[in-house]
């Protein structure tokens, strides 16, 4: 309770703070070796990028819960566990949207893709990172007031929950929709650091997937995560800049999590990025 009171006082004083979540304050899991290690991959060189928590306890990310919950979504390598890098740079919030809300977003995304993207999936991306995909950016999908009778209102009301997960002064880029075919893959890459800022977040739709984060200079330092539909994930700071990320081919070999195959069908992700500002990258 003392930690929580001190943190709230810091907010009142205008200091930057990334809330730990009530689960950490009450359960005292700060010293868990899965979250904090001692350093083969190198120390985090970035000031903390702070997200604000929603009021509902259900939105405490898995990396702030107990080991059993974390093991269901994270599989860090021994080198990652021994390193100074931390799973607190990678939030996963399962069931961030309900099934009904998921279906609203999936229909809205499909309509946008049908209107703005090609009918066929592209065989390859211009930078050779993605195969068998479609994509589009929706300029109107940014935080904004809309009339209740606006056709976009239902989707924007749901998306607002994701924007509310972050500081209220975040300078948002329009949401990017990425549609990955069952036979497609996203190869190892770091999102363009000249284009966007401190974090990349994704709202996952349709089917589950495996995503793998690998340190750019130490391949042994990696973490594999399982991303189910309806979850929100957020990569920030070191996991944003020092690690590549990928979605492997759905081949039964590379798309595994803790030894189990995670079959992936068509997958749509709604990608949230903050605009790059001075000091954000």
Question: 174-184 as b/e, with b when 16 or more CB fall inside 10 Å?
Answer: ebbbbbbbeeb
Question: What pLDDT score was predicted for residue 230?
Answer: 98
Cβ atoms within 10 Å of 9's Cβ, excluding its own: 11
What CA–CA distance (Å, rounded) separates 20 from 3?
Answer: 9
Ranked by mean pLDDT, the top range of 3-17, 43-57, 204-218 is 204-218
Banded pLDDT at 246 (limits 50, 70, 90): very high
pLDDT above 70: percentage of residues in the chain: 77
> DSSP string of the chain?
-HHHHHHHHHHHTT-------HHHHHH--TT-TTT----SS----SPPPP-PPPSSGGGS-GGGS-HHHHHTTEEE-HHHHHSS--GGGEEEETTSS-HHHHHHHHHHHHHHHHHHS-SSPBSS-TTS-EEEEEEEEETT-SS----TTSTTHHHHHHHHHHHTTS-TT--BPPEEEEEEEEEEEEEEE---TTTEEEEEEEEEESS-EEEEEEESS-TT-EEEEEE-TT-EEEEEHHHHHTEEEEE--SSSSSSEETTEE----SEEEEEEEEEP-TT--
Of 181, 199, 182, which is closest to residue 191 (Cα–Cα)? 199
- Of the listed ranges 1-15, 34-48, 109-123, 186-200, the least confidently predicted one is 1-15
Average pLDDT (36-49) is 47
Q: Mean pLDDT, to the nearest integer, of 175-183?
A: 96
C-alpha closest to that of 208 among 250, 245, 236, 240: 250
Please report, for the chain, the start and end positions of each structural domain, with discontinuous segments joined by +.
28-281
pLDDT above 80 (res 31): no
Which has the closest alpha carbon to 218: 85, 45, 60? 85
pLDDT of residue 17: 31
- Lowest-pLDDT range, 27-31, 239-243, 274-278? 27-31
Mean pLDDT across 216-233: 97
For residues 118-147, average pLDDT: 87
Residue 18 has a pLDDT of: 37
Output the pLDDT for position 45. 52
* Count of Cβ atoms closer than 10 Å to residue 4 Cβ: 14
Mean pLDDT of the chain: 82
Token pair 């500081």: residue? 167
**What number is the average pLDDT over the span 123-132?**
81
Q: What integer pLDDT is reported at residue 10 of this predicted model?
A: 39
Q: Which CATH fold topology does 28-281 show?
A: Jelly Rolls (2.60.120)
Higher-confidence position of 209 and 27: 209
- Model pLDDT, residue 195: 79
By C-alpha distance, which of 225, 236, 228, 231 is closest to 167? 236
What is the spatial distance between Cα 149 and Cα 63, in angstroms, rounded to a whole number? 38
Confidence of residue 221 (pLDDT cuts 50, 70, 90): very high
Query: What's the pLDDT score for residue 13?
Result: 34
Give 149 or 91, the one with higher predicted confidence.
Answer: 91
Is residue 56 pLDDT above 70, yes or no? no
Query: What number is the average pLDDT over the span 224-243?
Result: 96
* Residue-level pLDDT at 196: 82
> Does 157 have pLDDT greater than 90?
yes
Q: Lowest-pLDDT range, 25-34, 41-50, 215-224?
A: 25-34
Mean pLDDT for 201-228 is 97
Distance of alpha carbon 119 from the chain centroid: 27
């Amino acid at each position: 309770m003392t930690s929580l009171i001190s943190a709230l006082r810091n907010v009142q004083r205008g200091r930057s703070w990334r809330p730990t979540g009530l689960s950490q304050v009450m359960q005292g899991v700060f010293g868990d070796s899965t979250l904090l290690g001692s350093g083969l991959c190198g120390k985090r060189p970035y000031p903390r990028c702070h997200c604000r928590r929603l009021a509902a306890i259900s939105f405490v990310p898995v990396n702030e819960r107990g080991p059993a919950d974390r093991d269901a979504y994270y599989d860090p390598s021994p080198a990652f566990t021994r390193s100074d890098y931390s799973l607190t740079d990678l939030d996963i919030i399962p069931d961030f949207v309900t099934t009904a809300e998921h279906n609203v977003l999936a229909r809205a995304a499909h309509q946008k893709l049908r209107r703005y993207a090609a009918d066929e999936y592209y065989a390859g991306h211009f930078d050779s990172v993605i195969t068998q995909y479609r994509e589009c950016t929706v300029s109107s999908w940014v935080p904004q007031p809309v009339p209740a009778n606006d056709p976009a209102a239902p989707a924007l009301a749901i998306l607002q929950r994701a924007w509310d997960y972050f500081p209220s002064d975040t300078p948002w880029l329009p949401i990017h929709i990425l549609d990955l075919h069952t036979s497609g893959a996203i190869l190892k890459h770091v999102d363009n650091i000249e284009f966007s800022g401190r974090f990349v977040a994704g709202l996952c739709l349709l089917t589950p997937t495996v995503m793998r984060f690998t340190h750019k200079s130490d391949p042994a330092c990696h973490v594999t995560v399982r991303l189910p539909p309806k979850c929100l994930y957020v990569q920030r700071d070191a996991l944003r800049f020092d690690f590549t990320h990928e979605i492997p081919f759905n081949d039964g070999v590379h798309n595994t999590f803790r030894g189990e195959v995670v079959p992936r069908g068509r997958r749509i992700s709604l990608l949230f990025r903050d605009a790059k500002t001075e000091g954000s990258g």
